[in-house]
Amino acid sequence: MKAVRQSQLLQTLAQPRALCATLVILMLTGPLVAYLDEFSAQLMTHVAFALVFLSGPVNAAKNDREWWLTTIFAASALLTGLFSPLLDELVLVDSVLSATFFAYLCYLTARNLFRAETTVTDGTLWTAVNTYIIAGMFFAFLYNAVNAVLPHAFAGQFLQSPVREGIDAFIYFSFATLTTVGYGDLTPNHVFVATLAYMEALFGQLYLAILVARLVGLYSASNKT
């Protein structure tokens, strides 16, 4: 019975919608923890990251090598994240490891999305959403890593906001850039950050254009069969 329950849990986590749910939980953690005490805020944040780090490898990996690589990246990022509040030097390491995890996870989900298929399923649509969100998370941790090396790489009133601190500010900036919203309350203050920002904006536009063409092609192919 216990083995059956474990198998059912893995099957649930392997669903693209489960990965999407954990990503959304992670994104919603920021505004919630701002009003909690430090211990509760860190606990909720680590739990949210753990959910993503658990569901990511199970969902996207298609063989043992991919599973081990993704799991190693996830475990390393989670461990450094646990100790980063104690050592400021670990903030950069944690950001780089987390960016590596999301970069590899983005590659795996995008590969699963754009591999040869004949039909558009619910899993295809969930995977498309996951890839877009994961790409935004990758850039967020990349910005956080740059900020750890170049403390004045960003400027704007948003940095003084009590609602979001640390990675939450860069998640906000990343998705504002990815969707080309650009509110202007947090802006690049270094040429390297500006380059990353327009590369992310370009990726966001190309992804949507290519994705729509891909889904239309799959839909047309399924109707011809």
**Residue range 117-130, pLDDT digits in tens:** 667 777 888 889 99
**Closest of 14, 12, 10, 24 to residue 129, by C-alpha:** 24
* pLDDT per residue as tens digits for the range 198-214: 999 999 999 988 888 87
At 163, is the pLDDT very low, low, confident or very high (cuts 50, 70, 90)?
very low
Q: Determine the Cα angle at 125 with ends 205 and 98, to 5°.
A: 65
Q: List Cβ neighbours of 139 (8 Å cut-off, separation of 6 or more).
A: 174, 177, 178, 196, 200
Cβ-contact 139, 178 below 8 angstroms? yes
Q: Give the residue with greater pLDDT, 87 vs 68.
A: 68
pTM over 0.85: yes
- What is the pLDDT at residue 70? 92
In angstroms, the CA 106 to CA 115 distance is 14
